[in-house]
């Protein structure tokens, strides 16, 4: 606490990002980064963009990137928005669309940043419990509320909500904005972007951080009806008109245009994931049906908190959340085949298998 802080600053409970340790080299399976490098074409585009034009401000409308993202999904640029990481887009969307006079709905087990944005925007969350199998109870996302947000696949459960269920959410809540956070959709899900022309209350948020290996660049995209995109622009231009720098704009366009590389690297992550799921089940682990680039795992006979510590000592970082219902689970990012082989080897030793 500080006497210089506003009541708002004092009241916040900031998000704690997964660690990026510098003490030694770990096999890093803790922040859902992609194990493969970004598209070589994206790197090349950024090198070219590192030129004298950096003395000039970037394009505040991010026109080239918005057009590329719109083309990718067959939408209009008026239905498309780009920003500095999807975390920034989420903050804008909370401020633009969620009514502070009513509770905003999200699952009890979900991306922990949502609570933080809610607090920042003076919004009261209403947590809807996932069922015993961590499935989203779609019918309970209804009633008198100020809007809702769900990641799809959910994090950290990795479980996908099928598109017909997303459609149900949109139809049951026509007067409220439904945000679908698709940070992991490219690893086996069907995107709700194709529903944008049908549902004016749908906002889909995506990121280049996971499936396009660009977490370090900070690029997020949003897709929705023209009125929702206008709403995001109102908040953005009341906060920071130049959210995206020249290098990020060029790199993101080149990444979106390199479809072959994107398909190849996401397919590799999916293949590795499906292999490791089978191996973990053989060791007696409970593993959710992951459609993301990470796994949520638990062993009936071993404490997740202990395994987390022991893995760390052995040079393998995973994520442990000391939160209700998932405090005996580990979230494990899917790395390369070599990294996952090492993870399995250490894990087998730890559980004496
Ligand atoms: C990683 C993640 C984000 C944030 O992505 P950035 O674009 O890197 O800010 C948003 N939502 C969920 C559910 C995530 O896991």
Note the CATH architecture for domain 40-258: 3-Layer(aba) Sandwich (3.40)
| Chain centroid to CA 152 | 9
Spell out the residues 6+ positions from residue 7 whose beta carbon is closer than 8 angstroms to its own. Answer: none
For 150, the enclosing helix (H) or strand (E) is: strand 148-151
Q: Give the pLDDT mean for 130-139.
A: 97
Q: How far is the CA of 87 from the centre of ligand 1 (A)?
A: 6
Domain boundaries, the chain: 7-37+260-350, 40-258
Q: What share of the chain is helix, strand, coil (3-state, %, to 5)?
A: 40, 15, 45
Q: Which of 84, 110, 209, 251 to mutate to test the pocket of ligand 1 (most atoms within 8 A of CB)?
A: 209
Write the residue with the smallest CA distance to atom 12 of ligand 1. 183
Report the nearest atom of ligand 1 relative to the CA of 32. 1
Identify the CA nearest to 84 among candidates 225, 207, 203, 182. 207
pLDDT in tens, 37-93: 999 999 999 999 999 999 999 999 999 999 999 999 999 999 999 999 999 999 999
* pLDDT higher than threshold 90 for residue 101: yes
| Chain centroid to CA 213 | 13
pLDDT of residue 312: 96
pLDDT of residue 243: 97
Residue indicated by tokens 């053989």: 282
pLDDT band at 202 (very low <50, low <70, confident <90, very high): very high
Report the nearest atom of ligand 1 relative to the CA of 110. 13
Q: Give the pLDDT mean for 9-30.
A: 87
- Distance, in Å, from the CA atom of 54 to the CA atom of 62, rounded to the nearest integer, reads 15
Identify the CA nearest to 230 among candidates 251, 200, 206. 200
Write the residue with the smallest CA distance to atom 2 of ligand 1. 183
pLDDT of residue 43: 98
For 188, the enclosing helix (H) or strand (E) is: none
Mean pLDDT, all residues of the chain? 96
Spell out a b/e string for 31-69, using b for 16 or more CB atoms within 10 Å of the CB, else e: bbbbbbebbebbeebbeebeeeeeeeebeeebeebbebb
pLDDT of residue 304: 98
pLDDT of residue 256: 98
* pLDDT higher than threshold 90 for residue 20: no
Q: Are 100 and 146 in contact (CB under 8 A)?
A: yes
- Distance, in Å, from the CA atom of 297 to the CA atom of 299, rounded to the nearest integer, reads 7
Q: Any idea which of 11-15, 228-232, 262-266, 329-333 has the lowest mean pLDDT?
A: 11-15
pLDDT of residue 18: 78
Report the nearest atom of ligand 1 relative to the CA of 209. 8
Note the CATH architecture for domain 7-37+260-350: Alpha-Beta Complex (3.90)
Q: How far is the CA of 90 from the centre of ligand 1 (A)?
A: 9
pTM for this predicted structure: 0.97
Report the nearest atom of ligand 1 relative to the CA of 86. 7
pLDDT band at 24 (very low <50, low <70, confident <90, very high): confident
pLDDT band at 264 (very low <50, low <70, confident <90, very high): very high
DSSP for residue 327: T
Q: Give the pLDDT mean for 255-267.
A: 98
Tokens of 23: 């003490």
Where would I find the H helices in the chain?
7-11, 40-49, 63-73, 86-97, 113-120, 163-172, 226-236, 246-257, 259-282, 304-313, 337-350
Q: How far is the CA of 295 from the centre of ligand 1 (A)?
A: 16
* Of 69 and 352, more confident: 69
- For the chain, what percent of residues have pLDDT higher than 70? 100
């Amino acid at each position: 606490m500080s006497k210089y802080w506003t009541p708002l600053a004092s009241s916040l409970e900031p998000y704690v990002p997964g660690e990026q340790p510098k003490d030694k080299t770990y096999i890093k399976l803790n922040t859902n980064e992609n194990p493969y490098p970004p598209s070589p074409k994206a790197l090349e585009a950024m090198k070219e963009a590192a030129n004298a034009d950096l003395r000039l401000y970037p394009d505040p409308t991010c026109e080239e990137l918005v057009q590329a993202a719109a083309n990718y999904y067959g939408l209009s640029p008026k239905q498309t928005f780009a920003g500095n990481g999807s975390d920034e887009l989420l903050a804008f969307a909370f401020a633009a669309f969620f009514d502070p006079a009513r509770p905003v709905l999200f699952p009890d087990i979900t991306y922990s940043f949502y609570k933080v944005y809610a607090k920042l925007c003076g919004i009261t969350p209403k947590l809807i419990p996932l069922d015993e199998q961590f499935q989203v109870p779609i019918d309970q996302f209804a009633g008198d509320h100020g809007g809702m947000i769900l990641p799809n696949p959910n994090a950290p459960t990795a479980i996908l909500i099928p598109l017909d269920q997303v459609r149900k959410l949109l139809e049951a809540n026509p007067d409220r904005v439904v945000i679908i956070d698709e940070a992991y959709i490219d690893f086996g899900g069907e995107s709700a972007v194709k529903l944008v022309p049908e549902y004016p209350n749908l906002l889909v948020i995506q990121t280049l951080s996971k499936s396009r290996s660009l977490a370090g660049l900070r690029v997020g995209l949003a897709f929705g009806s023209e009125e929702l995109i206008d709403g995001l622009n109102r908040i953005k231009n009341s906060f920071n008109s130049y959210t995206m720098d020249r290098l990020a704009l060029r790199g993101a366009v080149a990444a979106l245009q390199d479809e072959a590389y994107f398909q190849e690297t996401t397919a590799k992550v999916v293949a590795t994931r499906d292999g490791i799921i089978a191996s973990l089940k053989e060791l007696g682990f409970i593993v959710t049906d992951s459609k993301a680039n990470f796994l949520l795992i638990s062993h009936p006979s071993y404490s997740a908190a202990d395994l987390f510590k022991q893995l760390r000592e052995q040079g393998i970082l995973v994520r442990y959340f000391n939160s209700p219902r998932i405090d005996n689970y580990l979230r494990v990012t899917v790395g390369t085949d070599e990294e996952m082989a090492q993870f399995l080897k250490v894990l087998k030793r730890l559980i004496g298998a």
